[in-house]
Amino acid sequence: MRIRLGVAAIAVALASSGCAFLANEPPADPSVAFCDAIADYAGAVLDLRSLDEQATIDDYKAAATAVANALAEVVKVGVSSGQAKLSDLETATETLVSTVQDLPQDVPIADIQAQLQQQLTDVAKARASLGLTVCTPSASSAPSPAAS
């Protein structure tokens, strides 16, 4: 009887330590984190691009802040994943965000949209150059470059 209890105790200890080992998640793949950050960034840009004439200057500024915050995350995970070619994306985004943040309150929204169109295109091109060369469709749910 003592032997059975001893064997049972050992079996339970091994099983519980094995479960604890299996419960630990493997470290996150830095390229997956980068691709996820790029997808989030693309979503923020898409949100900015989707603002229409019903939006206010404050709506544009809030959306630009979201884009800047998403870029900060891309840069952070890009550094840790070894994605060094972020300068084009940073430059395009900084130009876009700066333009939006400097908009006067009395500018017609139609003028804002026309003014931002080329900058949004530059951002899309910079993002596409990263996302298409680094992220596979299965690794990221990023919208197509034309969508951002």
For the chain, domain boundaries: 30-147
Cα separation, 59 vs 54, in Å, equals: 10
Mean pLDDT computed over 134-148:
49
Q: What is the pLDDT of residues 56-108, one digit of tens each?
A: 999 999 999 999 999 999 898 877 666 657 888 899 999 999 999 998 888 78
> Residue 35 pLDDT > 50, yes or no?
yes
Which distant-in-sequence residues (6+ apart) come within 8 Å of 92 by Cβ? 119, 122, 123, 125, 126
For residue 143, the model assigns a pLDDT of: 47
Judging by beta carbons within 10 Å of its beta carbon (0-12, 13-18, 19+), is residue 47 exposed, middle or buried?
middle
> Residue 123 pLDDT > 50, yes or no?
yes
pTM score: 0.69
% of the chain with per-residue pLDDT over 70: 64
